[in-house]
Amino acid sequence: MIDLHTHTFFSDGQLIPSELVQRAHAAGYTAIALTDHTDSSNIEFIVSSLVRVAADLNSHSNIRVIPGVELTHVPPEMIGTLTDLARSLGAKLIVVHGETIVEPVIGGTNSAAIRAGVDILAHPGLISDEDCRLAGDLGVTLEITARKGHSLTNGHVALRALHMGVPLVIDTDTHSPDDLITKAMALKVLLGAGIPNGKTDDIFKQSQFIVNKLCKNL
Protein backbone atom coordinates (compact mmCIF):
# COMPACT_ATOMS: atom_id res chain seq x y z
CA MET A 1 0.00 0.00 0.00
CA ILE A 2 1.17 3.51 -0.87
CA ASP A 3 -0.48 6.65 0.48
CA LEU A 4 0.34 10.03 -1.02
CA HIS A 5 -1.98 12.21 1.09
CA THR A 6 -1.70 12.24 4.89
CA HIS A 7 -1.60 14.72 7.76
CA THR A 8 0.37 14.99 11.00
CA PHE A 9 0.01 17.27 14.00
CA PHE A 10 1.85 19.94 12.02
CA SER A 11 -1.62 20.73 10.65
CA ASP A 12 -4.79 18.92 11.76
CA GLY A 13 -3.57 15.34 12.10
CA GLN A 14 -3.40 13.56 15.45
CA LEU A 15 0.06 12.00 15.27
CA ILE A 16 3.62 13.24 15.09
CA PRO A 17 5.27 12.20 11.81
CA SER A 18 7.35 9.42 13.36
CA GLU A 19 4.30 7.68 14.82
CA LEU A 20 2.26 8.04 11.65
CA VAL A 21 5.09 6.56 9.61
CA GLN A 22 5.61 3.71 12.09
CA ARG A 23 1.89 2.86 12.10
CA ALA A 24 1.86 2.88 8.30
CA HIS A 25 4.95 0.66 8.22
CA ALA A 26 3.34 -1.78 10.67
CA ALA A 27 0.25 -1.86 8.44
CA GLY A 28 2.35 -2.94 5.48
CA TYR A 29 2.76 0.37 3.67
CA THR A 30 5.86 0.68 1.49
CA ALA A 31 5.69 4.47 1.03
CA ILE A 32 3.86 7.41 2.57
CA ALA A 33 3.77 11.12 1.80
CA LEU A 34 3.40 13.64 4.61
CA THR A 35 1.28 16.44 3.12
CA ASP A 36 0.16 18.79 5.84
CA HIS A 37 -2.25 21.62 5.10
CA THR A 38 -0.53 24.84 4.18
CA ASP A 39 -1.01 28.35 2.84
CA SER A 40 1.23 31.43 2.84
CA SER A 41 1.04 31.63 6.65
CA ASN A 42 2.91 28.41 7.42
CA ILE A 43 4.46 27.06 4.24
CA GLU A 44 8.09 27.64 5.29
CA PHE A 45 7.55 25.96 8.65
CA ILE A 46 5.61 23.00 7.26
CA VAL A 47 8.02 22.24 4.43
CA SER A 48 11.20 22.63 6.49
CA SER A 49 9.78 20.46 9.28
CA LEU A 50 8.62 17.67 6.98
CA VAL A 51 11.79 17.71 4.88
CA ARG A 52 13.86 17.33 8.04
CA VAL A 53 11.82 14.52 9.57
CA ALA A 54 11.53 12.68 6.25
CA ALA A 55 15.31 12.71 5.89
CA ASP A 56 15.70 11.34 9.42
CA LEU A 57 13.13 8.59 8.92
CA ASN A 58 14.41 7.60 5.51
CA SER A 59 17.80 6.97 7.10
CA HIS A 60 16.38 4.57 9.68
CA SER A 61 13.28 2.92 8.15
CA ASN A 62 12.31 0.54 5.39
CA ILE A 63 9.27 2.63 4.45
CA ARG A 64 9.88 5.49 2.02
CA VAL A 65 8.80 8.87 3.45
CA ILE A 66 8.07 11.72 1.03
CA PRO A 67 7.85 15.31 2.30
CA GLY A 68 5.06 17.30 0.70
CA VAL A 69 2.26 19.80 1.27
CA GLU A 70 -1.44 20.12 0.63
CA LEU A 71 -2.27 23.65 -0.47
CA THR A 72 -5.62 24.17 1.19
CA HIS A 73 -8.36 26.76 0.61
CA VAL A 74 -5.90 29.24 -0.86
CA PRO A 75 -7.08 31.72 -3.50
CA PRO A 76 -6.72 30.07 -6.92
CA GLU A 77 -4.55 32.96 -8.08
CA MET A 78 -1.94 31.98 -5.45
CA ILE A 79 -1.71 28.28 -6.21
CA GLY A 80 0.97 28.58 -8.88
CA THR A 81 3.16 30.84 -6.74
CA LEU A 82 2.81 28.66 -3.64
CA THR A 83 3.49 25.51 -5.67
CA ASP A 84 6.75 26.99 -6.90
CA LEU A 85 7.65 28.19 -3.41
CA ALA A 86 6.96 24.80 -1.81
CA ARG A 87 9.16 23.07 -4.35
CA SER A 88 11.96 25.59 -3.90
CA LEU A 89 11.84 24.93 -0.14
CA GLY A 90 12.22 21.19 -0.68
CA ALA A 91 8.72 19.73 -0.90
CA LYS A 92 8.81 16.71 -3.20
CA LEU A 93 5.05 16.26 -3.62
CA ILE A 94 2.49 19.01 -4.14
CA VAL A 95 -1.14 18.18 -3.45
CA VAL A 96 -3.97 20.68 -3.77
CA HIS A 97 -7.18 20.47 -1.75
CA GLY A 98 -9.65 20.17 -4.59
CA GLU A 99 -13.25 21.27 -4.93
CA THR A 100 -14.84 18.71 -2.61
CA ILE A 101 -18.61 19.12 -2.30
CA VAL A 102 -18.50 19.00 1.51
CA GLU A 103 -16.42 22.15 2.03
CA PRO A 104 -16.66 25.70 0.61
CA VAL A 105 -13.59 25.43 -1.61
CA ILE A 106 -13.22 28.44 -3.91
CA GLY A 107 -14.43 27.84 -7.44
CA GLY A 108 -11.60 27.65 -9.92
CA THR A 109 -9.30 25.81 -7.49
CA ASN A 110 -9.28 22.63 -9.60
CA SER A 111 -8.36 24.51 -12.76
CA ALA A 112 -5.66 26.60 -11.06
CA ALA A 113 -4.07 23.52 -9.49
CA ILE A 114 -3.98 21.68 -12.79
CA ARG A 115 -2.52 24.67 -14.62
CA ALA A 116 0.13 24.99 -11.91
CA GLY A 117 1.23 21.43 -12.66
CA VAL A 118 0.76 20.05 -9.16
CA ASP A 119 1.35 16.35 -8.63
CA ILE A 120 -2.06 15.37 -7.26
CA LEU A 121 -5.43 17.12 -7.24
CA ALA A 122 -7.10 15.70 -4.14
CA HIS A 123 -10.83 14.97 -3.93
CA PRO A 124 -11.71 17.18 -6.93
CA GLY A 125 -15.46 16.86 -6.39
CA LEU A 126 -17.64 17.35 -9.46
CA ILE A 127 -14.65 18.10 -11.65
CA SER A 128 -15.63 19.45 -15.06
CA ASP A 129 -14.86 17.65 -18.30
CA GLU A 130 -12.67 20.60 -19.30
CA ASP A 131 -10.56 20.39 -16.15
CA CYS A 132 -10.38 16.62 -16.36
CA ARG A 133 -9.17 16.81 -19.94
CA LEU A 134 -6.62 19.46 -18.95
CA ALA A 135 -5.33 17.24 -16.14
CA GLY A 136 -4.73 14.50 -18.67
CA ASP A 137 -2.93 16.87 -21.02
CA LEU A 138 -0.68 18.27 -18.26
CA GLY A 139 -0.01 15.01 -16.43
CA VAL A 140 -1.79 15.90 -13.19
CA THR A 141 -3.04 12.87 -11.25
CA LEU A 142 -6.55 12.90 -9.79
CA GLU A 143 -7.38 11.30 -6.46
CA ILE A 144 -9.88 8.67 -5.44
CA THR A 145 -10.19 9.11 -1.69
CA ALA A 146 -11.07 6.84 1.19
CA ARG A 147 -11.97 9.83 3.37
CA LYS A 148 -15.56 10.17 4.48
CA GLY A 149 -17.41 13.07 2.88
CA HIS A 150 -14.81 13.73 0.22
CA SER A 151 -15.46 10.23 -1.13
CA LEU A 152 -19.05 11.09 -2.10
CA THR A 153 -17.91 12.11 -5.59
CA ASN A 154 -15.46 9.26 -6.17
CA GLY A 155 -17.81 7.77 -8.76
CA HIS A 156 -17.92 10.99 -10.77
CA VAL A 157 -14.15 11.41 -10.65
CA ALA A 158 -13.55 7.79 -11.65
CA LEU A 159 -16.03 7.92 -14.53
CA ARG A 160 -14.60 11.10 -16.03
CA ALA A 161 -10.97 10.10 -15.50
CA LEU A 162 -11.40 6.64 -17.03
CA HIS A 163 -13.28 8.09 -19.98
CA MET A 164 -10.52 10.62 -20.68
CA GLY A 165 -7.51 8.53 -19.76
CA VAL A 166 -6.47 10.66 -16.77
CA PRO A 167 -4.20 8.95 -14.20
CA LEU A 168 -5.70 8.17 -10.79
CA VAL A 169 -4.36 7.29 -7.36
CA ILE A 170 -6.13 6.19 -4.21
CA ASP A 171 -5.22 7.93 -0.94
CA THR A 172 -6.62 7.98 2.58
CA ASP A 173 -6.27 11.67 3.52
CA THR A 174 -5.31 10.27 6.92
CA HIS A 175 -5.78 12.50 9.96
CA SER A 176 -5.93 9.80 12.65
CA PRO A 177 -4.44 6.31 12.91
CA ASP A 178 -7.82 4.73 12.22
CA ASP A 179 -7.84 6.37 8.78
CA LEU A 180 -5.05 4.12 7.47
CA ILE A 181 -6.41 1.30 5.33
CA THR A 182 -5.21 -1.98 3.90
CA LYS A 183 -4.70 -2.57 0.21
CA ALA A 184 -7.70 -4.88 0.32
CA MET A 185 -9.84 -2.01 1.62
CA ALA A 186 -8.38 0.34 -0.99
CA LEU A 187 -9.46 -2.13 -3.66
CA LYS A 188 -13.00 -2.11 -2.27
CA VAL A 189 -13.05 1.71 -2.40
CA LEU A 190 -11.95 1.61 -6.04
CA LEU A 191 -14.54 -0.98 -6.99
CA GLY A 192 -17.16 1.00 -5.08
CA ALA A 193 -16.27 4.04 -7.19
CA GLY A 194 -17.17 2.03 -10.27
CA ILE A 195 -13.65 1.23 -11.43
CA PRO A 196 -13.59 -2.14 -13.22
CA ASN A 197 -11.45 -4.94 -11.79
CA GLY A 198 -9.21 -4.80 -14.82
CA LYS A 199 -8.34 -1.13 -14.16
CA THR A 200 -7.60 -1.20 -10.44
CA ASP A 201 -4.02 -2.38 -10.88
CA ASP A 202 -3.31 0.69 -13.03
CA ILE A 203 -4.23 2.91 -10.09
CA PHE A 204 -1.91 1.15 -7.67
CA LYS A 205 0.83 1.28 -10.33
CA GLN A 206 0.34 5.04 -10.71
CA SER A 207 1.09 5.51 -7.00
CA GLN A 208 4.25 3.45 -7.41
CA PHE A 209 5.21 5.44 -10.52
CA ILE A 210 4.93 8.71 -8.57
CA VAL A 211 7.00 7.31 -5.70
CA ASN A 212 9.70 6.07 -8.06
CA LYS A 213 9.86 9.45 -9.76
CA LEU A 214 10.02 11.45 -6.54
CA CYS A 215 12.41 9.18 -4.66
CA LYS A 216 15.25 9.58 -7.13
CA ASN A 217 16.30 12.66 -5.18
CA LEU A 218 15.55 11.43 -1.65
Give me the domains of the chain, ranges plus CATH numbers.
Answer: 2-217 (3.20.20.140)
Q: How far apart are CA 62 and CA 150, in angstroms?
A: 31
Rounded to the nearest integer, the mean pLDDT of the chain is 97
Residue 218: its pLDDT value, please?
A: 61
Average pLDDT of the segment spanning 40-50: 98
Angle between helices 129-138 and 154-164 (to 10 degrees): 60
Give 70-109 pLDDT, tens digit per residue.
999 999 999 999 999 999 999 999 999 999 999 999 999 9
Residue 208: its pLDDT value, please?
A: 97
Q: Which residues of 165-178 are buried (b: 16+ CB within 10 A; e: fewer)?
A: ebbbbbbbbbbeee
Q: Is the pTM of this model over 0.95?
A: yes
pLDDT category, 19, cuts 50, 70, 90? very high
For residue 17, pLDDT over 70 is answered with yes
Residues in the chain: 218
Give 187-198 pLDDT, tens digit per residue.
999 999 999 999
